[in-house]
Amino acid sequence: MAGAVVPSELDAAAIRELLRLMLRQRLLDDLMLTVQRQGRVGFYGPATGQEAAVFGSGWALEPQDWILPALREGGVALMRGYPLEDYLAQCFGNSLDASKGRQMPCHYGAAEQNYATLSSPIATQLPHAVGVALGMKVQHKSAVCVGYMGDGATSENDFHTSLDMAGRLNLPLVFVCQNNQWAISVPFEGQTASSSVAIKAVAYRMPGVRVDGNDVFAVYRAVKDAVDRARSGGGPTLIEALTYRMGAHSTSDDPSRYRDESVTEAWKAKDPIARLKRYCSREGLMDEASIDGLEKTLFAEIRETLNRVEAADALVPLASMFEDVFADRPWFLDEQLADAERFGVVTGH
């Protein structure tokens, strides 16, 4: 991060906090990958190598803003106050899971943090983001919606429809694409003839900005400018954070089967966390011993929380399937529950 341009509003405390958040996410992802490989959870999608894009963008938002995430933005929910215990419980889908095991692991929803539950189908969150932003505009709220996506989402109809509608309606919406250059096994150049994601904004008459996605300061600046513009009535922006997926797409993937991992190794030299560590050390914000101590403290906190969550009751009561469907449960669900109890479906007999 030599020659980094640091936004003036990011003081020493803010930079140290960004490093803490990025380190925690890396440690959390590394541990949860191990947990999944041991068969303790069914699925996990890490943000390894993309932490600057996640937290740089998230730091630019206000509490009233809404997030429509893709797969790798769970750290934004954590940054906004989503409890780590809830984050881990969602992965296990056990009795501590607020969503009662109804979503596959890594599909967080955090209502108090204005973080919508992600959906696995690619790009379906973008029309939802348009709807949220439209609601904000109609209600004259001083709020902005951020719709996250990966580069693969830009090949979907929902992407084009959403940008077109956001532009035509001049919505308070910022599209943030984490271009990690792989849509699972399809390289970016195999998806489009365009030279970048950002250039696609031209067709919808909105600004398109390409930024170094491994520079947390650059990501913050680009997203903050776009958010401020949207909040003031200037309309939507498309931001492309160019980064690289250091690991697998998810625990269901083996990238060594389709990509040259020597390229991956070259990108590891641009690791966003290593870059921020070097900056903090060079500027006297944190020395190596302090950073090492922080990592140990964070890992201990993560491990303690994981142990507590995993020790909880493994199963959500089956009777919960009849809950949260209607505000007042109708007669036919009461009948179904009674039948389930009569035949021992929800009692275990």
Catalytic-role residue among 37, 40, 168, 258: 258
Three-state secondary structure along 81-134? CCCHHHHHHHHHCCCCCCCCCCCCCCCCCEHHHCECCCCCCCCCHHHHHHHHHH
Residue with tokens 């390894």, as numbered in its chain? 48
Told to judge if 82 belongs to the known catalytic residues of this protein, a careful annotator would answer: no
Burial status of residue 136 (CB atoms within 10 A of its CB: 0-12, 13-18, 19 or more): buried
Q: Find residue 208's DSSP bridge partners.
A: 238
Phi-psi region of 162 (alpha: psi -120 to 50; beta: other; left: phi over 0): alpha
Catalytic-role residue among 210, 249, 275, 279: 249
Q: How many angstroms separate the CA atoms of 125 and 158, rounded?
A: 8
Catalytic-role residue among 20, 245, 275, 279: 245
Told to judge if 220 belongs to the known catalytic residues of this protein, a careful annotator would answer: no
Cβ–Cβ < 8 Å for 142, 66: no
* Amino acid at the residue 344: G
Told to judge if 107 belongs to the known catalytic residues of this protein, a careful annotator would answer: no
Q: How many angstroms separate the CA atoms of 319 and 338, rounded?
A: 10
Cβ–Cβ < 8 Å for 175, 163: yes
* Amino acid at the residue 27: L
Active-site residue set: 245, 249, 258
